[in-house]
Amino acid sequence: MKFSEDFVFGGATAAYQCEGSTRDCGKGKVAWDDFLEKEGRFSGDPASDFYHQYPVDLKLCHDFGIKGIRISIAWSRLFPEGTGRVNQEGVDFYHRVFQECHRQGVEPFVTLHHFDTPDVLHKAGDFLNRDIINHFVDYAKFCFQEYQDEVQYWFTFNEVWPIAVNQYIVGSFPPAIRYDIEKAVYSMHHMMVAHAKAVNAYKEAGYQGKIGVIHSLEYKYPYHNNDADRLAAKNEDILANQFVLDATFLGEYAKETLETIQRLVAINHGQFECSQEDITVMKKAAFNNDYLGINYYQSHFIQAYDGENDIFHNGTGDKGTSRFRLKGVGERMFKEGIERTDWDWLIYPEGLYDMVMRIQNQYPNYKTLYITENGMGYKDEFVNGEIDDTPRIDYIRKHLSWILKAIQNGVNVKGYFVWSLMDVFSWSNGYNKRYGLFYVDYQTQKRYPKKSAYWFQKVSEFKELDKIEY
Q: Is the pLDDT of residue 2 over 90?
A: yes
HEC per residue, the chain: CCCCCCCEEEEECCHHHHCCCCCCCCCCCEHHHHHHHHHCCCCCCCCCCHHHHHHHHHHHHHHCCCCEEEEECCHHHHCCCCCCCCCHHHHHHHHHHHHHHHHCCCEEEEEEECCCCEHHHHHCCHHHCCHHHHHHHHHHHHHHHHCCCCCCEEEEEECHHHHHHHHHCCCCCCCCCCCCHHHHHHHHHHHHHHHHHHHHHHHHCCCCCEEEEEEECCCEEECCCCHHHHHHHHHHHHHHHHHHHHHHHCCCCCHHHHHHHHHHHHHCCCCCCCCHHHHHHHHHHHHHCCEEEEECCCCEEEECCCCCCEEECCCCCCCCCCEEEECCCEEEECCCCCCECCCCCECCCHHHHHHHHHHHHHCCCCCCEEEEEECCCECCCCECCECCCHHHHHHHHHHHHHHHHHHHCCCCEEEEEEECCECCCECCCECCCECCCEEEECCCCEEEECHHHHHHHHHHHHCCCCCCCC
Q: What percent of the chain has pLDDT over 70?
A: 100
Among the options 159, 182, 236, 331, which is catalytic? 159
Among the options 19, 218, 331, 373, which is catalytic? 373
Contacts 24+ apart (CB under 8 A), 459-467: 459/9, 459/400, 460/9, 460/64, 460/65, 460/66, 460/67, 461/65, 462/2, 463/2, 463/3, 463/4, 463/5, 463/7, 464/1, 464/2, 464/3, 465/397, 465/400, 465/401, 465/404
**pLDDT tens digits, 431-462:** 989 999 999 999 999 999 999 999 999 999 99
**Mean of the per-residue pLDDT values for the chain?**
96
Q: Is the pLDDT of residue 76 over 90?
A: yes
Give the sign of the dihedral formed by CA 31, CA 111, CA 109, CA 293.
positive
Instruction: Name the pLDDT band for 195 (thresholds 50, 70, 90).
Output: very high
Cα 320-164-34 angle, rounded to 5 deg: 85
Q: What is the mean pLDDT of residues 172-197?
A: 98
Strand partners, 213: 292
Is the model's pTM score more than 0.95? yes
Q: What percent of the chain has pLDDT over 90?
A: 93
**What is the rounded distance in angstroms from the CA atom of residue 234 to the CA atom of residue 236?**
6
pLDDT at residue 65, rounded to an integer? 98
pLDDT at residue 75, rounded to an integer? 98
Instruction: Name the pLDDT band for 314 (thresholds 50, 70, 90).
Output: confident
Q: Is the pLDDT of residue 139 over 90?
A: yes
- Identify residue 213 by its one-letter amino acid code: V
pLDDT at residue 197, rounded to an integer? 98
**What is the rounded distance in angstroms from the CA atom of residue 143 to the CA atom of residue 202?**
10
Instruction: Name the pLDDT band for 110 (thresholds 50, 70, 90).
Output: very high
**pLDDT tens digits, 337-359:** 999 988 899 999 999 999 999 99
Instruction: Name the pLDDT band for 384 (thresholds 50, 70, 90).
Output: confident
Q: Is the pLDDT of residue 40 over 90?
A: no
Instruction: Answer with the residue of higher pLDDT: 430 or 164.
Output: 164
Gyration radius of the chain over CA positions: 21
Q: Nearest CA to 239 among 332, 103, 369?
A: 332
159 among known catalytic residues: yes
pLDDT at residue 161, rounded to an integer? 98
- The string over 347-363, giving b where at least 16 C-beta atoms fall within 10 Å of a residue's C-beta and e elsewhere, is bbbbbbbbbbbbbbeeb
Would you state the CATH architecture of domain 8-301+315-322+336-462?
Answer: Alpha-Beta Barrel (3.20)
Q: Is the pLDDT of residue 116 over 90?
A: yes
**What is the rounded distance in angstroms from the CA atom of residue 186 to the CA atom of residue 160?**
11
pLDDT at residue 102, rounded to an integer? 98
**What is the rounded distance in angstroms from the CA atom of residue 213 to the CA atom of residue 289?**
8
In this structure, are residues 302 and 331 in contact, taking their beta carbons and an 8 Å threshold?
yes
Q: What is the mean pLDDT of residues 239-262?
A: 98
Q: Is the pLDDT of residue 99 over 90?
A: yes
